[in-house]
Amino acid sequence: MAILNSIRKRGVFLIIIIALALFSFILADVIRNGGFSSEKSLTTVATVNGEEMTRDDFMKKVEQSQRTLGPNGSTAQAMNMVWDRELRSVLQNQEYEKLGLTAQQDQVNASLQTGLASNATFQDVDGNYSPAKVQEYIADVQRNNPTAYQQWIDYENGLKDNILQTQYYNLIKAGMRSTLSEGEQQYRFENDKINIDYVFVPYTKIPDTDITVSDSEIGSYIKDNPSDFEVQPQVDIQYVSFSEKPSEEDMQAAKADVAALLNDREVYNSSSKTKEVEKGLKNTTNYAEFVNANSDIGYNDRVWFKSELPANIADTLFAMNEGDIYGPYQQDNTNNLTKVIEVTRLPDSVQSSHMLIRWKGTMRASDAITRSKEDAKKLADSLNALVKKSPSKFEDLAKQFSDDKSNSEKGGDLGYSGPGRMVPAFNDFIFDNKEGSVGVVETDFGYHVVKVGEQKNMQKAIKVATVSKEIEASEKTLNDVFAKASKFEVASQKGDFTEVAKSQELNLKPVNKISNMDASIPGIGNNRSIVNWAFEENSEVGDIKRFSTSDGYVIAQLTRKSPRGLMSVAEASAVVTPKLRNKKKAEKIKAGISGNDLNAIATSQNVTVQNATAITMAAPTLPGAGAEPKVVGAAFAKKAGESTGLIDGEKGVFKVKVTAVNPAPGLENYATYSNQLNSAATPTVNSKVFQALKNAADVEDNRANFF
């Protein structure tokens, strides 16, 4: 009671204390998130020159891109595609606005005509593009089909973007046109020539071990050239992995399970409460049912040529007779039984032609197709009858009646196709019938009047029934792997990560320079959870954590964490050290040179005077030294008989004497060379402008928060 009374007496004081504590907690969160708009990083993917990219819109586009990429596309690929596209769009639109660029309606109309001229939906009765048909279509979908109307709006917006982009880059390209004076300069670069004598003292004359480059010198160079050494936030990790791969016992058990499917076996029928015999692969005749019931890979009802089968089993299978069984055998991570169920001879390719007769509602049928299925069948049958009476009429009839406009003008010629390339009904007809056969085939595309052409390269082919079972780790193996991973995790948190890995004979793998947008880690594959953990604010160097992977576990340790800034001395050393070393070597070489003329310098440095003829500015290469643009440029500034001073070149120290200057004869017009400069510059304008806009932009990138 005394305590409660004391609390009551100090109630106001306690409220103030609690309020201050809550405020400090909120303030700390605000500071961590860069201000009072902490929720902004959770709703905004990026801010580009003050313009926000919202999370919802961006992630919808990422999902759409991922669907477009298909099952093999990763989220990282989709996000990078959308990021580049959206960043380009924002930066360019900002430029359009500054310049007052707009897409005029007449430009949009012209683009519509170009894009839709060949679409029957937008053509009049004479087959010409009709703006009235466009307006009819827009009014119809706006009223009856919101999805199609939105697609139309997106299409028009895309046209407007293309118009603006073309205007913008054309303006830039117009300002980059090379003048005739620049053309003349290029002509001189390529054709003016000089002859020189020179002394070349290579930097290799002084051993690297004689020159010391300190960390402080490297650090100063980095600070003096910051743009060359900027780095984004990076982390380093090291890890050990524990794979849940099947043990030898698991592999033997899996092999036995597959082998058991070879022969008939007794099974208990719970419905009839009796034992029944279930046929094995050896005696079954319903191969599709048997394979689909017992295999991880469904039955494939097709024939195979030898070249289409895995090389390690092709010879064996093609030496077998109908009814023979091969296996169990291991193929990659599966155990298999294969029975040859048919041996035949087939051409490896067949030429075919067709007339496609669609009806309303068939796959890819345009709105112009209005006939019923019954009418389509009647037309197909009549065309088939005509061709059988007069085979030579096929091409003309295809041009007149076929709805497949991609080949109708070629008389319906589809070229050559191998087994399984066409839809099943079409494929069966052209491979099961003789050359010259004509018939009607129904598919999802409509009725096809098909003519079988040349059948090439008749050869042996087989049909097989294959039971394939994936080899999986047993529960015992999975538990053993989990126990080993847990044991290492606990031991490494108590001791030294590296030493514990060595003591347990585990392969320790370091991964350096991971960025916050990386998705794939060498040796692990796609695993954003590791990257996100490493970049979390609370993660510190030395921290250890276990992660699940597609085939087991990874125990990772964070070994370095660097914020955005300049490279460390250690990182930049490989680039900077040779530059500073050569600079010091140049100073040392020049200090040891005595005499002013080439012969005296050559004698003092134990080298020879060399010469080069027909040197141009466009190809500044010296014999024995390679490309030396600085040296050649200095030589071109001298007259015949004049010498340069000592020059610090790429490969060593030089002194040059010009022995002859041979200017190229003047031209009446230098347009060819100015056009040459234009042609070289134009293809790279778009990419270089985008890069310049990115470099100049103020971009706050929050993508890592959503990835």
Residue-wise pLDDT for 575-600, tens only, equals 999 999 999 999 999 999 988 899 99
Distance CA 197, CA 461 (A): 75
How far, rounded to the nearest angstrom, does the alpha carbon of residue 130 sit from its chain's CA centroid? Answer: 40
Distance CA 164, CA 99 (A): 11
Please give the pLDDT value at position 19.
47
Question: What's the pLDDT band for 273 if we cut at 50, 70, 90?
Answer: confident
Q: Roughly how many angstroms between the first and final C-alpha of the chain, as a whole number?
A: 55
Burial label for 408, CB within 10 Å (0-12, 13-18, 19+), is buried
Please give the pLDDT value at position 77.
86
What is the SS3 assignment for 150?
A: helix
Strands 413-417 and 334-357: antiparallel
Contact 449, 383 (CB under 8 A): yes
Helix (H) and strand (E) counts in the chain:
24, 25
Residues 108-141 pLDDT 10s: 999 999 999 988 889 888 889 999 999 999 999 9
How far, rounded to the nearest angstrom, does the alpha carbon of residue 177 sit from its chain's CA centroid? Answer: 34
Largest CA distance in the chain: 115
Region 234-245+473-563: CATH code:
3.10.50
What backbone torsions phi and psi does residue 128 show, to the nearest 5 degrees? -100, 150
Q: Show the tokens assigned to 300.
A: 């494939």
Distance CA 428, CA 430 (A): 6
Q: Show the tokens assigned to 521.
A: 């880690």
How far, rounded to the nearest angstrom, does the alpha carbon of residue 420 sit from its chain's CA centroid? Answer: 30
User: Higher confidence at residue 705 or residue 180?
Assistant: 180
Strands 509-515 and 446-470: unpaired
Give Cα separations from 251 to 242, 329, 334, 477 (angstroms).
18, 11, 9, 11
Please give the pLDDT value at position 683.
85
Looking from the CA of 353 toward its CB, the CA atoms found within 13 Å total 26
Q: Which residues contact 699 (CB under 8 A, 6 or more apart)?
A: 46, 47, 48, 49, 87
Question: What's the pLDDT band for 7 if we cut at 50, 70, 90?
Answer: very low
Span 665-677, average pLDDT: 93
Contact 512, 284 (CB under 8 A): no
Distance CA 342, CA 161 (A): 58
DSSP line for 446-502: EEEEEEEEEEEEEEEEEEEEEEEEE----HHHHHHHHHHHHHHHHHHHHS-HHHHHH
Contact 621, 631 (CB under 8 A): no
Q: In this model, does residue 177 exceed pLDDT 80?
A: yes
Please give the pLDDT value at position 127.
84
Q: In this model, does residue 239 exceed pLDDT 50?
A: yes
What is the SS3 assignment for 70?
A: coil
Contact 54, 44 (CB under 8 A): yes
Distance CA 205, CA 114 (A): 67
Residues 75-106 pLDDT 10s: 888 888 999 999 999 999 999 999 999 999 99
Please give the pLDDT value at position 181.
94
Q: In this model, does residue 670 exceed pLDDT 60?
A: yes
Contact 466, 297 (CB under 8 A): yes
Angle, in degrees to the nearest 10, between helices 75-99 and 146-175: 60
Q: Which helix (H) or strand (E) holds 705?
A: none
Contact 500, 488 (CB under 8 A): yes
Q: What is the average pLDDT value for the chain, to the nearest integer? A: 90
Closest CA to 81 of 96, 66, 70: 66
Please give the pLDDT value at position 10.
46
Burial label for 205, CB within 10 Å (0-12, 13-18, 19+), is middle
Question: Three-state SS string across 221-250, please?
Answer: HHHHCHHHCEECCEEEEEEEEEECCCCHHH
Span 25-46, average pLDDT: 55
Q: Where are the domains of the chain?
A: 2-38, 105-175, 193-230+569-662, 234-245+473-563, 247-472
Residues 558-578 pLDDT 10s: 999 988 888 889 889 999 999
Distance CA 555, CA 238 (A): 9
One-letter amino acid identity for 426? F
Please give the pLDDT value at position 248.
93
Span 601-625, average pLDDT: 94
Annotation: CATH topology of 193-230+569-662? Chitinase A; domain 3 (3.10.50)
Q: Show the tokens assigned to 148.
A: 């199609």
User: Higher confidence at residue 4 or residue 162?
Assistant: 162
Please give the pLDDT value at position 410.
93
Highest-confidence range of 1-10, 54-63, 187-196, 359-368, by mean pLDDT? 187-196
Distance CA 371, CA 360 (A): 6
DSSP line for 570-625: HHHHHHHHHHHHHHHHHHHHHHT---SSHHHHHHHHT--EEEEEEE-SSS-EETTT
Q: In this model, does residue 385 exceed pLDDT 60?
A: yes
Q: Which residues contact 634 (CB under 8 A, 6 or more apart)?
A: 644, 647, 656
Please give the pLDDT value at position 507.
95
pTM of the model: 0.63
Q: Provide the sign of the torsion angle of the four alpha carbons 311, 315, 321, 326, taken in this order.
A: negative
Please give the pLDDT value at position 372.
93
Strands 652-662 and 647-648: antiparallel
Q: In this model, does residue 2 exceed pLDDT 50?
A: no
Residues 300-311 pLDDT 10s: 988 899 988 999
Region 247-472: CATH code:
3.10.50.40
Distance CA 154, CA 94 (A): 20
Q: In this model, does residue 183 exceed pLDDT 50?
A: yes
Contact 99, 91 (CB under 8 A): no
Please give the pLDDT value at position 12.
47
Two domains, one topology: 193-230+569-662 and 234-245+473-563: yes
What is the SS3 assignment for 685?
A: helix
Q: In this model, does residue 145 exceed pLDDT 70?
A: yes
Span 607-612, average pLDDT: 95
User: Higher confidence at residue 42 or residue 311?
Assistant: 311
What percent of the chain is predicted at pLDDT more than 70?
94
Q: Show the tokens assigned to 333.
A: 């991570």
Distance CA 29, CA 27 (A): 5
Please give the pLDDT value at position 41.
60
